[in-house]
Structure 1
Amino acid sequence: MVVLLDTAKVLTFDDRRHIYRLKGIELPSVTQVMKPLSDETYRSVEPRVLNRAADKGTAVHNAIENYISFGIEDIDPEFSGYFTAFLRWYREFNVKPIASEYRLYHKFMGYAGTADLICDIGGQLHLVDYKTTQQIEEMLVKVQLKAYEKALDSLGAEPKKTAALHLKRDGTFDFLVLDGGAESWQVFSSLLTVLRYKQKYFWR
């Protein structure tokens, strides 16, 4: 069994302001770094729709976290289908959780984020991100997963697989093993470079 670094001792997260700090030093989040890409992807979607989707995602994530951590099966009936989909996947794939909602950071590149689930499936270390959107934007997800994978690798635990778990309202799911390869890492690294440059010259 993989033993993960206890990042909670050094990495804090301000949920209200969505700010990560490593030993008191603020780090950009994966979400923040990827904002230009996600803004372009969802620019035609109305803000109220995006806010509704975010609320749904939060509710489902919280329910899953409570189940993994405490064995509690509790969720708003409106979102029960997504939770049912998770339970079906969890049992069908005989998932062995290692860490849920794991805060991670890249030791050398200085960014942070939260991985939904790090687990063992069939003897292989998997990094899994839950999605409750109507469809999966693979272009975005590959970059996100690659950023998490590289951060986890820098902390001494290299995942064998990275995947998106697409949970659906009707209780079904798609388990998509995705590897963005060198392209996704190049995209994320470039976005991080641009963010650093903006911080240096515009956000003094």
Structure 2
Amino acid sequence: MNLNEKELPFFPELKFDGIRHIYTLNGQILPSVTTVMKPLDHELYSGIDESIMQMAASRGTAVHNAAENYVLYGIEDIEPKYAGYFEGFLKFWEEQKPVPLATESRVYHKILRYAGTADLPCVIDGKKVLIDYKTSAAVNKMLTGVQLEAYERAFSSHGFNFDEKAIVHLKNDGSYQMVRYKANDMESWQVFSSLMVVWNHIQKYK
């Protein structure tokens, strides 16, 4: 949902089916950033039991939803088993004082035609910062740098630029870590662009 449409572009033409996790642009299916990045995910998570992955996904969804409800409505509501992660979010909110431009902001790349959802485009200390929340045990920079760069470039393709990006790593003990990334990370963009080439090549022969 957009909170400040004058500052951040809003794309009503981009639809998202949450059940099937599919983005469509004027009826055309677009790959998500996470779909394009599956080769990197496989490299990192291929040996982990599926039940553990499902638990991690459920936790992430619950904490993301609680964070969005807080930003939009000031509601503090979270399942007790995830309370520590939400406490970490509240601590981040109090200490960093972000001014939200949107929350769960859907975006697509104008040329490359992929889509994704940015957790919290905001302003911190006068800088436009693109934030993504993580509730994983650790922040894996091989993945996060590429993911954030893909989101940043999608916004940039519509003329909106960020000053920096950050992962807000929420922890079960009620703490958080803010891992900052520079804007226009060429290495991460080269990686994602290459993954797009691979994805398009696979689709060609399906």
Shorter-chain TM-score bucket reads: over 0.9
Q: Distance in 2 between matches of 1:153 and 1:87?
A: 29
Q: Distance in 1 between matches of 2:140 and 2:49?
A: 17
Q: How big is the shift at 1:46?
A: 0.8
Please tell me the root mean square deviation across aligned C-alpha atoms, in Å.
Answer: 1.1
Q: Name the counterpart of 1:192.
A: 196
Q: Distance in 1 between matches of 2:177 and 2:89?
A: 10
- Count of aligned residue pairs for this structure pair: 201
Q: Name the counterpart of 1:122.
A: 125
Q: Using structure 1 for the length normalisation, give the TM-score.
A: 0.96
Letter in 2 for 1:44: G
Q: Tell me if 1:182 matches 2:186.
A: yes
Q: Runs in 1 of length 4+ with deviation above 4 angstroms?
A: none
Q: Using structure 2 for the length normalisation, give the TM-score.
A: 0.95
Q: Distance in 2 between matches of 1:74 and 1:103?
A: 24
1:36-90 CA-to-partner distances (Å, cap 9, x unmatched) read 1101111111111110000000000000011111111000011011111111111
Of residues 150, 165, 168, the one that matches 1:165 is: 168
| Other structure's SS at 1:100 match | coil
Q: Name the counterpart of 2:31.
A: 28
Letter in 1 for 2:126: G
Q: Name the counterpart of 1:58.
A: 61
Q: Name the counterpart of 1:135.
A: 138
Q: Name the counterpart of 2:111.
A: 108
Q: Distance in 1 between matches of 2:158 and 2:91?
A: 31
Q: Name the counterpart of 1:75.
A: 78
